[in-house]
A and B are shown apart, each in its own frame.
Chain A
Amino acid sequence: MRPENYQAINHPPSHEYELNFGPNHPGIEGNYALKVKLQGDQVVEAHADGGYLHRGFEKLMEGRLWIQNIALVPRICVPDPVPMEMAYSLAVEELGGLEVPIRAQWIRVMQLELSRIAAHLFTFGGHAATTGMYTTMYWGVADRDLFLDLFEELTGGRVYHIYNIPGGVRRDIPDGYLDRVTSTLDYLESRLPDYDNLFFTNQVFVKRATGTGTMTQQQALEWGVTGPNLRATGLKLDVRRDDPYLVYDEIDFDIATEEAGDAWARTLVRRKELQQSIRIVRQVIERLPSIGGPIRCPIPNPLAWNVPAGEAYARIDSSKGEVAYYVVSTGGDKPYRVHVRGPSSMHAVQVLENLVTGGRLEDVAQIMFSLDACPPEVDR
């Protein structure tokens, strides 16, 4: 090239580039995407991009009978479906003025806590995989399977149970079921030291997670963070304690907290919750045989059930945070409006964007898993 023909290339003013992180990426939970702008490997800007799991549940529910929606709601959050059924049922019960029998309430608590254990085991697996430790993932998924077996025996379904209906639960516990729950809990407890050695005290994890995705109490409250993520900033706040539903006010358990507010603290809170959930289920096992009575209250013919007009807001603490259902009835056989508030609509969008920005690309996956974000809850 002759010097007179040479033209300097106009470089862009920075070395920033954009990267689509997801929707099909092993470091993303579910089908979800983050559009990140990078400078080197530092994230300058991040935008959450959802909608890949939108199935229009809220619209579908408006066109179905009250009882039919029970089959829809657990699909809103795949890893932890029980709180969805429960919150919907609680809202409908409040509208219909139904009094749930005590026995059903204890069975529900057991099911909620078993679901929390299963969901946490799943998350540990995913989180460990983002730091390159795949063994924890295999262990977590394998141990979760034992809890799915329990669900299968109780409800007939492994993932979607469709077990709680407004008014109670669909069937009583099978013979000898509580013994099998006890032995599964014993097994999980015996495994916890192994998990500690493999993952929670593993220096690979501790060094990667400490100081990653840190948020302060102030930020957490401002961004609407709930559940274990909020408790990881040192706040002892739990819907089960502050806004008790079912029989949680009769149950003895500690609210697990950590102070640091980073990915490490969030995971440790879940690790502690595992023990608390085991403690809660053990109390249920102790109490349940002495509680007789029906497992559901009489409800009108479910195919011609007009729930009285009104509106109800039911809140529940799921393994991810605050799940809430706003249900409006106009006295018809179908809901007029159901609004689902999933905790991940905060955690996976605003909180994730804020925490990822300024961090490094390699930590994006870890931050997302440490928040335990569940994209189907965002998309609904």
Chain B
Amino acid sequence: MSQELTRMLDTLTKDIAGAKVTLKRARRMRIDVDADALPALLELLQGRGSYVHLSAISCVDWIDDNQFELVYHVWSYESNSLVSAHTRIPRDPGVYLSIYDLYKPAAFFERDIHEMFGLYFEGSPSMEKFILTEWEGPPPMRKDFDAEAWVRDTFTERDYNPEWLKELTDAGGGIAIRPQDIRK
């Protein structure tokens, strides 16, 4: 079954230059493809390979290679297998094509990736903010955004010692542990 699938995908992708099909395990296939050939590959997978369900689009920031990796997970309800199409695009300028005309669910994932990674998808129905509506900073899921440092720079730490707590503590109550209660 898995061999048949690999054969089917090999024939499907034979016209796509640079496409490499790997069988990862049962029902999981991986195809590595160049960025400019990916829409054609997905069109073939959908139209001739029955991969009609776009499960997700994942983005990985490979900052050391200065690249974004986009992974399109498509599922076939007929052959019950998942193809993950991997492609890499340069981090700068970070612009890619939308696949909304092939898969409608792409609208959400592309919008999400745009918001979290700052990658722009040409032709996507909406690139407006969705989750981080009031966020002005850089796209937070990029590897060069350090959330902890941002918190340190933005907020000041303050000791919390209100009068009422001091009174309680002095009286030996509240959150303080009385000396006789300390376990030896």
Contacts and interface: CB of A to CB of B under 8 A. Distances in A.
Interface stretch (A118-126, A194-202, A322-330): A322-330
Interface stretch (A68-76, A169-177, A221-229, A250-258): A221-229
Interface in A220-261: 221-224, 226, 235, 237, 242-243
B130 A313 contact: no
B80 A324 contact: no
B129 to A, nearest CB: 8
Interface in B54-76: 54-56, 58-61, 71, 73, 75
Given A221-B53, A224-B105, A337-B60, A326 B77 contact: no
A158 interface: no
Interface string A317-345: 00000101010100000001101010001
A58 B108 CA distance: 17
A326 B71 contact: yes
A51 B132 contact: yes
A324 B60 contact: no
B108 A326 contact: no
B107 interface: yes
Interface stretch (B10-18, B140-148, B158-166): B140-148
Contacts of A322: 55
B179 to A, nearest CB: 33
Nearest to A322: B55
Given A221-B52, A315-B55, A339-B58, A350 B28 contact: no
Interface residues of A, number: 37
A54 interface: yes
A313 B82 contact: yes
Contacts of B104: 222-224, 350
A242 B105 contact: no
Interface residues of chain B: helix, strand, loop or mixed (majority):
mixed
A47 to B, nearest CB: 9
B27 interface: yes
Nearest to B115: A51
B120 interface: no
Nearest to B129: A51
Contacts of A313: 28, 55, 73, 82, 84
Contacts of A336: 60
A58 B109 CA distance: 14
Contacts of B25: 94
Nearest to A237: B77
B103 A224 contact: yes
A349 B128 CA distance: 14
Interface string B120-150: 0000000000111100000011000001100
Contacts of A328: 60
A289 B121 CA distance: 54
A346 interface: yes
A339 B130 contact: no
Contacts of B61: 337
A222 B75 CA distance: 13
A243 B60 contact: no
A50 interface: yes
Contacts of A56: 140, 147
Given A313-B82, A322-B55, A51 B105 contact: no
Nearest to B86: A311
A311 B28 CA distance: 11
Given A242-B77, A326-B71, A339-B56, A59 B82 contact: no
Nearest to B145: A59
Contacts of B108: 345-346, 349-350
Which of the listed residues B27, B53, B132 has the most CB atoms from chain A within 10 Å of its own CB?
B53
Minimum-distance CB pairs A-B, first 10: A224-B105, A51-B131, A341-B56, A339-B58, A326-B58, A242-B80, A337-B60, A54-B131, A222-B104, A349-B108
Given A51-B132, A63-B147, 19 more contacts: A51-B130, A51-B133, A54-B132, A56-B140, A56-B147, A59-B147, A60-B147, A224-B53, A224-B103, A224-B105, A243-B80, A313-B28, A315-B55, A322-B55, A324-B55, A326-B58, A339-B56, A345-B108, A350-B108
Interface of A: 48-51, 54, 56, 58-60, 63, 94, 221-224, 226, 235, 237, 242-243, 311, 313, 315, 322, 324, 326, 328, 336-337, 339, 341, 345-346, 349-350, 378-379
24 contacts: A50-B130, A50-B131, A51-B130, A54-B132, A58-B141, A59-B140, A223-B104, A224-B55, A224-B103, A224-B104, A224-B105, A226-B53, A243-B27, A311-B71, A315-B82, A324-B55, A326-B71, A326-B73, A336-B60, A337-B60, A337-B61, A339-B58, A349-B108, A379-B131
